[in-house]
A and B are shown apart, each in its own frame.
Chain A
Amino acid sequence: MKVLRQAFSVAHKDLSIELRTKESLNAAGAFAIAILLLLSFVFDPFSDVVREMSGGLLWLVFAFSGALIFNRGFSRELPNECLDALLASPLSPASLLIGKAGGIFVTLLPVELVSLFVFGIFYNVRWWLHPAELAGVFVLATWGISIVGAVFGALTVNLRLRELMLPVIIYPLLIPLLIGAIEVTNSLIANHPITDYEWLWARVLLVFDVVMTALAATLAETILVN
């Protein structure tokens, strides 16, 4: 409970800063819309194929625009050596990581929702046919991106070339999560029946989230304390 309470404080602090500056939100939102625009030149935006690969298009947009958000996660602790102040406090490293992930999650989710809305307009896709299931996928997959983004944000926080390294390290690790999110989202938006295959991927998403969160909590002190 204490871990969650502390994590909530960290997330609340990050969100306060983000709502005031809107740096990551604006950048990620604009980037997402720019990618959606570019994709319209890649294939016929009105073909039925778009519905079948909606998941792939959307999750690539979310993964790339998410980088602008999780890049900021720990780098905002660098000015004035705030990270030292946090680590010297009673805040546990695990709470710090989970709190950071929570902040990324709450920032990324609105960007995804706006992108989904814009995607529906740009490509004439009815994405609202299975809202509960789609919400479930969004929550699971976005948490996976957030926790991995937070962990590797912490890992690279004091390194030179941090912004270059973070995407190189993170995207290969996110592959199972992205495959799962893409496959289930494709089925939901194309209004295919939900079969065992989709449930398999839902379980993969859940396992990924649980394993990565557990690893993050276990290795938090190793990553953050020199």
Chain B
Amino acid sequence: MTASAAIEIDHVWKFYGDYPALRDYTLAIGQGSCCALLGRNGAGKTTILRILAGLSSHQRGTVKILGGSPRSGDVRTRVGFLGHGIGVYEDLSARENLLFFARIVGLDNRSRTVDDWLERVGLARVATMPVRQFSRGMRQRLALARTFLHRPDLLFLDEPFTSLDDRAIAMLSQLLVEARERGSTIVLSTHQLREAMAIASHVALIENGRMRFAGERTVEMLEDPALLYRLHTELGAD
């Protein structure tokens, strides 16, 4: 990992009661890199992302994002988060949803920015329609607009490719490429190994809340996305 770490997770433990969901987890993610969090269901990927997004707290260790706490308002101004849910209100229109989030993140020129994004994600013609009347693909694109609305420096995406249609996948991939080009730091969890390896500069494998591997994404991983699982889950033992 690079010297200037945007994200530092240092010996973090997260407990649910006495059960450790994360065990002595350490990971540093450099500024401008894209880290794919890999691991099977229940490994701890969502737990890490929720801690980074400030949705969950940890009991031991430290987490620093751009030198500050994940719960700090300044940090969260620079974060874009996309979880399992799309995070938009069914009874508001697409435009109203984006205007609300634009207001929350303190964007200037809200109206213009929102209109530009609606155009970008192909929802300009249905901007005033309530989200409850949207198709699944339209909702997904609106969720992407909400996440990327304020051009965040940090992106935390939990299985973003899951359930996306082709148009949304293409859109998301493009948005991620642009984010990387402007130097944003991206952490995403995914089961879609091919998409992950294509976009990630680094990978981190987690198993039973423990770090199994963290390092640069190699050409071998790109050619054989399942390589990491084969190597490190065979060797790893609790």
Q: Would A and B touch once assembled, by the CB under 8 A criterion?
A: yes
Q: In the complex, how many angstroms separate the beta carbon of A114 from the nearest chain B beta carbon?
A: 23
Inter-chain contact A226/B57, CB cutoff 8 Å: yes
A-B contact count (CB 8 A): 83
Inter-chain contact A80/B71, CB cutoff 8 Å: no
User: Size band of the B side of the interface?
Assistant: 20 to 34
Inter-chain contact A17/B92, CB cutoff 8 Å: yes
**Chain A neighbourhood of B55, CB < 8 A:** 84, 87-88, 225-226
B79's partner among A17, A88, A225, A226 (CB-CB below 8 A) is: A88
Please provide the chain A residues from 5 to 43 with a CB less than 8 Å away from any CB of chain B in the complex.
Answer: 6, 9, 13, 16-17, 20-21
Inter-chain contact B104/A89, CB cutoff 8 Å: yes
Q: In the complex, how many angstroms separate the beta carbon of A20 from the nearest chain B beta carbon?
A: 6
Alpha-carbon distance between A172 and B74 when the two chains are bound, in angstroms: 39
Interface pick from B33-41, B83-91, B224-232: B83-91
Inter-chain contact A81/B87, CB cutoff 8 Å: yes
Interface pick from B95-103, B166-174, B175-183, B192-200: B95-103
Known contacts A9-B100, A85-B101, A85-B146; is A225 also within 8 Å of B56 by CB?
Answer: yes
Please provide the chain A residues from 130 to 151 with a CB less than 8 Å away from any CB of chain B in the complex.
Answer: none
Inter-chain contact A88/B76, CB cutoff 8 Å: yes
Inter-chain contact B104/A6, CB cutoff 8 Å: yes
A90's partner among B57, B76, B85, B156 (CB-CB below 8 A) is: B76
The interface of chain A, by Cβ under 8 A from chain B, is 6, 9, 13, 16-17, 20-21, 76, 79-82, 84-92, 221, 225-226
The interface of chain B, by Cβ under 8 A from chain A, is 53-57, 71, 73-74, 76-77, 79, 81, 83-92, 96, 100-101, 103-106, 130, 139, 146, 156
Subset of 19 A-B contacts with CB under 8 Å: A13-B92, A20-B92, A79-B90, A80-B139, A81-B84, A82-B87, A84-B53, A84-B55, A84-B81, A85-B81, A85-B83, A85-B101, A89-B76, A89-B104, A89-B105, A90-B105, A90-B106, A225-B56, A226-B55
